[in-house]
Amino acid sequence: MKKNNIAGLKDFLDRKAEQYNTPAFIDNDPICIPHSFTLRQDIEIMGFFASIFAWGQRKTIINKCRELALRMDNAPFDFIVNHSDTDLKKLLDFKHRTFNDTDLLYCIDFFKRHFTEFKTLEEAFFPSENMTVEEGLNYFHTYFFSHPDAPRRTVKHIPSPIRKSACKRLNMFLRWMVRNDERGVDFGIWHKIKPKDLICPLDLHVERTARKLGLLNREKPDWQAAVELTSNLSKLNAEDPVNYDFALFGISIEEKCIFEL
């Protein structure tokens, strides 16, 4: 990123973040799913599923999340902690792309074990203070698959930095849970890390815009690329670099916007 262009780029991305970081963004984005709930644990659970399902068309993602919520009687936390074996039959044959009922049933089992001991899913990512996002995501992966009967096929749905993944969907989930700018989109219900510590979700839209704007040079869209992008965004806003996720994603949807810079 050219130093003499930082001011102009910051002004441009600030304007675009302001444009897209609004409640109007919610309805057509998977974040509308956790926004359908008020109980903290419901928001965490359905936010997790909405992020994990977030590849492909957004309309399909949203519809599959709604289907899953309906199968859990639109009360996911209550269903998870109080279900019987008979109740689990409602989840059979659920499928979203390569995520199937084997993956789903293990997720339900994990959530039940976790919420038996903890009140919030935050503890599954950040069991102690002063952890980095990289440490938290690696911890979550180990913790999630700590059960001896964890299905090997589910590993592909839960990425981790140690496996070199950009972890774009889990970073998006963390953005939802951690950021609180009072603009009505992100929830800001987790407090063990701060917005300045988040890593920008590196999906195809964000990657495309970031490369065109000179914010990303690393060829492979892996964990180091996500770190590089976030580092460059921090030069524009050190306290909340991931706010620009809205701008980069929105610009990609309306690609002509980049020519305003």
Question: Mind listing the pLDDT tens digit for each residue in 176-229?
Answer: 999 999 999 999 999 999 999 999 999 999 999 999 999 999 999 999 999 999
Chain centroid offset of residue 73 CA: 24
Q: How many residues does the chain have?
A: 261
pLDDT reading at 13 higher than 60? yes
- The residues that bridge with 95 in the sheet, in sequence order, are 100
For 183-240, the DSSP string reads SSSS-----SS-GGG------HHHHHHHHHTTS---SS-SHHHHHHHHHHHHTT-SS-
Domain boundaries defined on the chain = 3-260
- Residue 205's region, left for phi above 0, alpha for psi from -120 to 50, else beta, is alpha
Chain centroid offset of residue 81 CA: 23
Q: Which amino acid is at 246?
A: F
pLDDT reading at 259 higher than 80? no
| Residue found by looking up tokens 């209550």 in the block | 78
pLDDT score recorded for residue 257? 64
pLDDT score recorded for residue 261? 53
Question: Mind listing the pLDDT tens digit for each residue in 131-168?
Answer: 999 999 999 999 999 999 999 999 999 999 999 999 99
Segments of the chain assigned E as strands: 95-96, 99-100
pLDDT score recorded for residue 194? 97
Q: Is the distance from CB of 123 to CB of 100 less than 8 angstroms?
A: no
Q: Nearest CA to 145 among 112, 116, 119, 110?
A: 110
Average pLDDT over the chain, rounded to whole?
Answer: 95
State the Rg of the chain over Cα.
Answer: 18
Q: Give the 3-state secondary structure of residue 96.
A: strand
DSSP symbol at 157: G
Query: Which pTM was predicted?
Result: 0.95
Q: Nearest CA to 185 among 34, 2, 6?
A: 34
36: its two tokens: 């359908």
Q: Give the 3-state secondary structure of residue 119.
A: coil
pLDDT score recorded for residue 256? 65
Report which secondary-structure segment, H or E, holds 89: none
Q: Nearest CA to 201 among 249, 163, 137, 237?
A: 249
Region 236-244: what's the mean pLDDT? 98
Residue 100 sits at φ, ψ, to 5 deg, of: -125, -170
pLDDT score recorded for residue 56? 87
pLDDT score recorded for residue 2? 53
pLDDT score recorded for residue 7? 80
Question: Mind listing the pLDDT tens digit for each residue in 20-31?
Answer: 999 999 999 999
